[in-house]
Structure 1
Amino acid sequence: MTGRLADIYRHPIKGHGREALASVRLLAGECMAWDRHWAVAHEAAKLVPGWNRCVNFARGAKAPALMAITSSLDEATATVTLHHPERGEITFRPDDRADLPRFLAWVAPLNPAERAQPMAIVTAGRGMTDTQLPALSILSTASLADLSARMGIALSKDRWRGNLWLDGAAPWAELGWVGKHLAIGGAVLRIEERIERCSATTVDPETGRPNAPTLQALNQHFGHQDFGVYGVVVESGPIAVGDEWRLA
C-alpha cells in the first residue's frame, strides 16, 4: 500500500493553535520538532517533572473556544503568534515570564469561567503529546471523507489536531497498521497504537463551537472512538508534503 503525504501540521502550544508546514526533519525517538513544545497548565494541575497527562492542561475538550486558534512559530526567536476570530492576534515568547500576564489576559475569555483557569506555560524537554510515547499522530484523508459522508457534514482536518495526513490508503486501513513500519520520504515510523478521540473533535475549528457529534458517529458506525494512529520515528530523515509513503 502506498500513497502521498497530504499535509504536515505542528501545534507549538498544546491545545492553542495549529500551523501547516511544507517540510520537516524527523528524528528517531523524538516528537516532531516544536510540536506541543509548550503546554498551558491550569490552576488544578498536578505536574510532575517531564511529560504530563492532558488533564493538567487547558485544551479544547474542556474549553471548546480554544479550537479556533491558529498559530505560527518563529523558531529563531521562539516567538509564537496566535490568532482567534474573537480575540484577534497576540505575539509573545512563551519562555519569557514577562509575557505570561499578557497571554493569560488574552486567553482568559476563551476558557469557561467555571473551570480551572490557565496559570502557567510549561515545557517538558519533549512534545507534550496526549500519549506518553514521543509520537506523531498519523491520519487518513480517506477515513475523514468516509466519516464525513456517514455524518452528512464536511469535517475539517483541523478537528483532529493531527501531525501527518496521508492520501491513498483505504478508509480505516490505518487502524490495522499497529506494529507495522511506515516509510515517508527519508524517515521511517513504527505504528504503536490507535488514537482514542475526545470531545474536542466535536468542535468546529472555525468558530470554536461544538457542531458535530463525531464521537457518537464513531461509536454508532464502528463501535469505538478511534481515529488515526500514533507512530514513533525509528529512522531519522526529512519529509515533505507530496512525498510518497509506503508500509515497510
Structure 2
Amino acid sequence: MMQLAGLFTYPVKSLRGHAVDEATLEPCGLTGDRRWMLVDPDGRFITRRQVPAMAAMSVETTVDGLILRHPDHGDCRVTTPDATAPVIDGRVWKDELPVRLGNPQADGFLAAILDRPARLAWQHDPRRRPIATAHARPGEHVSLADGFPLLVTTEASLAALNDRLAVAVPMARFRPNLVIAGATPWAEDRWRRIRIGDVELRLALPCARCIVVTQQPDTGERLEGNEPLPTLRAMGHATTAGIMFGQNAVPERLGKVRIGDPVEIIETGEGLG
C-alpha cells in the first residue's frame, strides 16, 4: 500500500525546510509554505541559484513571525508585517506581485551572511499570484514557490536514481512537499490525479530541476560536480523543458494531510516522452 512518508514546508523560499507530521492544504499549497522570500533592492527574488550560502540559514516559525538562524551569525527574530508595513512590487521569475517588507532589523543580518543587500518580503495575499502556465485553471494560485503550489516525489524514484550514482543523494536535494512510499520507480510520471487521505491533487507536469539539486542541502556546497543531473538525463528523465524529477501538483480538494495517510491513484496518463 502506498502512503505519505514525508511532509515538508519551506517558510522562506530557498532557505531550509521543516519536516512536519501534519499540515493543512490550502489553495496555494501547504499552510506557511514559501510565503516569505528574500528580495534585492529592486524587489526581485534571491535564491540559492545565485547565493548558495542561503543553504546555511534555518528558519523557526513563531506565532507572530520567524526566527532566522545561522551557525556563525546567530539568530534574528522577525515579525510578520502588518497592514502598516511598506508594500512593494515583488518579482518571482516573470511574475509581479505585491509583497510586504519585513522588519528592517533583519537587513544587516542578511547582508552579513549573503554579502549583498537583501530584505525579507512576505506574501500577504496569495490570490494576487495566479499560476502562470497553460497547465493551470482559472482561479488557481500559488505562493512564492517557483511555479506550482506543491511538489510530489517518491522514495522509489530516489532509490532508483541512487542505484546509478557513485554517491547517493538525499531527498532534501529536491525540496519536495510530499514524499510517497510504496510506489514503483517513476510511477509518478504517469499519475494525473491522486488522493492522500482526504485531500486530492492534480499532478500538472514534471518538475524541471535546476542547479540547486547539485548543492548540499545544509551548506550549498557542490561536491559531486553536476550530479544528479547528468545521471537523470542518462536515465531518460529529460524533455525539451529540462531534466525532470518529481511532479508539480495543484490542490483540488483541501484539508489536512498527515504522515501515514494512504495514497490512492485516481487517474493516470502518459509518462515522459
What TM-score does the superposition give when structure 1 sets the normalisation length?
0.83
Q: Is the 8 A contact 2:29 2:150 kept in 1?
A: yes
Q: Secondary structure at the match of 1:146?
A: helix
CA distance in structure 2 between the partners assigned to 1:155 and 1:62 by the alignment: 21
- Which residue in 1 is equivalent to 2:8? 9
Following TM superposition, by how much is the alpha carbon of 1:211 offset from its aligned partner in structure 2, in angstroms? 1.9
- Which residue in 1 is equivalent to 2:259? 241
CA distance in structure 2 between the partners assigned to 1:149 and 1:87 by the alignment: 38
- Structure-2 change in CA distance of 1:148 and 1:106 (3 Å): farther
| Structure of higher RCO (CA pairs closer than 8 Å, 6+ residues apart) | 1
Superposition pairs of residues 153-164 of structure 1, within 5 angstroms: 153-164=167-178
- Structure-2 change in CA distance of 1:35 and 1:107 (3 Å): same
Matched, 1:170 2:168: no
CA distance in structure 2 between the partners assigned to 1:189 and 1:66 by the alignment: 30
Structure 2 portions without partners, runs of 5+: 86-100, 127-142, 267-273
Query: Which is worse superposed, 199-208 or 100-109?
Result: 100-109
Superposition pairs of residues 162-201 of structure 1, within 5 angstroms: 162-177=176-191, 180-201=192-213
Following TM superposition, by how much is the alpha carbon of 1:216 offset from its aligned partner in structure 2, in angstroms? 2.3
Following TM superposition, by how much is the alpha carbon of 1:44 offset from its aligned partner in structure 2, in angstroms? 4.5
Following TM superposition, by how much is the alpha carbon of 1:34 offset from its aligned partner in structure 2, in angstroms? 1.1
- Structure-2 change in CA distance of 1:156 and 1:106 (3 Å): farther
CA distance in structure 2 between the partners assigned to 1:192 and 1:99 by the alignment: 33
Measured on the aligned residues, the alpha-carbon RMSD in Å equals 2.2
Following TM superposition, by how much is the alpha carbon of 1:221 offset from its aligned partner in structure 2, in angstroms? 2.5
- Structure-2 change in CA distance of 1:112 and 1:222 (3 Å): farther
Matched, 1:61 2:49: yes
Rg larger in structure: 2
Match of 2:37 among 12, 36, 39: 39
- Which residue in 2 is equivalent to 1:88? 74
Following TM superposition, by how much is the alpha carbon of 1:223 offset from its aligned partner in structure 2, in angstroms? 5.0
CA distance in structure 1 between the partners assigned to 2:48 and 2:202 by the alignment: 28
CA distance in structure 2 between the partners assigned to 1:136 and 1:23 by the alignment: 15
Matched, 1:208 2:220: yes
CA distance in structure 2 between the partners assigned to 1:123 and 1:244 by the alignment: 32
Following TM superposition, by how much is the alpha carbon of 1:200 offset from its aligned partner in structure 2, in angstroms? 0.7
Instruction: Deviation per CA, 1:114-150: give whole Å up to 9, x if none.
Output: xxx424514152211111x4x2111111111222221
Instruction: Deviation per CA, 1:159-194: give whole Å up to 9, x if none.
Output: 1111111111111111222xx211001101111111
| Identity, % of aligned positions | 26
What TM-score does the superposition give when structure 2 sets the normalisation length?
0.76
**When the two structures are aligned, how many residues end up with a matched partner?**
227
